[in-house]
């Protein structure tokens, strides 16, 4: 499928478990982003990446880890999930015209 795909689309996990959310884009865009969206907080940037092996923290990075060994993949890992990390997570990328494209999201519930 062309565009940005995220997996899984829905995930329920327990407190303390490690969880990895996957993001894959087919355009070879350099810039990629992870956001979380919560009622009352809007979209908040977790981590971003300018290229393979170049990542940096966003607004709310605590408890999350990212890696980017390949341009097309940008996985987000919750090292030890907490209930406060229950949220909808969106992956995004920016094209050459600086237009941002979003994936369909992953709804994560931490019990």
Partner 1 sequence: KQEVTQIPAALSVPEGENLVLNCSFTDSAIYNLQWFRQDPGKGLTSLLLIQSSQREQTSGRLNASLDKSSGRSTLYIAASQPGDSATYLCAVGPDSWGKLQFGAGTQVVVTP
Residue ranges that bind partner 1, judged by CB under 8 A: 30-31, 33, 42-43, 45, 48, 50, 56, 58, 90, 92, 94, 97-105, 107
CB 83 to partner 1: min, Å: 21
Q: Return the number of the residue (5 or 13) whose C-beta is nearest partner 1.
A: 5
Question: DSSP state, 27?
Answer: S
Q: Which of 52, 66, 60 is nearest to 21 (CA)?
A: 66
The answer for 71, left when phi > 0, alpha when psi is -120 to 50, beta otherwise, is alpha
With respect to partner 1, which residue has the nearer C-beta, 17 or 41?
41
């Amino acid at each position: 499928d062309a565009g940005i795909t995220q997996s899984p689309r829905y995930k329920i996990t327990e407190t303390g478990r490690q969880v990895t959310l996957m993001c894959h884009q087919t355009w070879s865009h350099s810039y990629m982003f992870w956001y979380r969206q919560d009622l009352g907080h809007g979209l908040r940037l977790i981590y971003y990446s300018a290229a393979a092996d170049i990542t940096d923290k966003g607004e709310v990075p605590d408890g999350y880890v990212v890696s980017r060994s390949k341009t097309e993949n940008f996985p987000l890992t919750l090292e030890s999930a907490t209930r406060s990390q229950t949220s909808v997570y969106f992956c995004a990328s920016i094209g050459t015209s600086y237009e941002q494209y979003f994936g369909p999201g992953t709804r994560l519930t931490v019990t």
